[in-house]
């Protein structure tokens, strides 16, 4: 359960965004592993893209760790597609090209971004 407070609330349009209260982490855990276990844990940490403390804390607290291979590549490709759509829209608005309908494409790209954001939120 998160500990929330409103010390310096961040105000948005007609809304108040909760700020997570930072807790002082001053306790340590040490444990021993053999070489094989160490390498496996290190590999899992690298795959998760989390730091060691965050990874071990999440696994100890039974939080799901979602690894999406190629997520960075998917995001990069979506950005390129979005840029291409914007360029085509600009050319259409300038009258340099005609008869272009990108509304369906824009909707699909938007839905893909929303799905990616859900995946990222689940990972965090």
- 20 in any annotated domain: no
Pair 77, 118 in one domain: yes
pTM assigned to the model: 0.40
76 and 118, same structural domain? yes
Determine, yes or no, domain membership for 13.
no
Query: Is residue 7 very low, low, confident or very high in pLDDT (cuts 50, 70, 90)?
Result: very low
- Taking the alpha carbons of 44, 46, 47, 49 in that order, is the dihedral positive or negative? positive
Residue 82 lies in a domain: yes
More confident residue, 25 or 95: 95
Q: How many domains does the chain have?
A: 2
Q: How far is CA 106 from its chain centroid?
A: 21
Domain of 77 in residue numbering reads as 71-123
Same domain? For 83 and 117 the reply is yes
User: Which residue would you say has higher pLDDT here, 105 or 17?
Assistant: 105
Domain C-terminal end among 65, 84, 115: 65
Percent of the chain scored above 90 by pLDDT?
Answer: 11
Do 93 and 113 belong to one domain?
A: yes
C-alpha distances out from residue 67 to 42, 45, 48, 64, Å: 14, 10, 6, 10
The pair of structure tokens assigned to 106 is 């824009």
- What does residue 22 show for φ and ψ, rounded to 5 degrees? -80, 130
Residues 38 and 77 in one domain: no
Q: For residue 43, name the pLDDT band (cuts at 50, 70, 90).
A: very high
Mean pLDDT, all residues of the chain: 76
Question: Residue 3: its pLDDT value, please?
Answer: 44
Task: Pull the structure tokens for residue 86.
Answer: 């914007």
pLDDT band at 64 (very low <50, low <70, confident <90, very high): low
């Amino acid at each position: 359960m998160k500990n929330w407070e409103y010390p310096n609330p961040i105000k948005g349009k007609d809304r108040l965004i909760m700020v997570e209260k930072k807790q002082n982490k001053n306790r340590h855990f040490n444990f021993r592993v053999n070489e094989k276990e160490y390498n496996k844990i290190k590999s899992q940490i690298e795959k998760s893209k989390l730091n060691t403390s965050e990874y071990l804390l999440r696994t100890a607290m039974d939080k799901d760790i979602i690894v999406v291979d190629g997520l960075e590549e998917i995001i990069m490709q979506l950005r390129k597609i979005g840029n291409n759509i914007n360029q085509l829209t600009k050319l259409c608005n300038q009258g340099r090209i005609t008869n272009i309908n990108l509304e369906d494409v824009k909707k699909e790209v938007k839905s893909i971004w929303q799905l990616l954001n859900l995946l990222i939120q689940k990972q965090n």
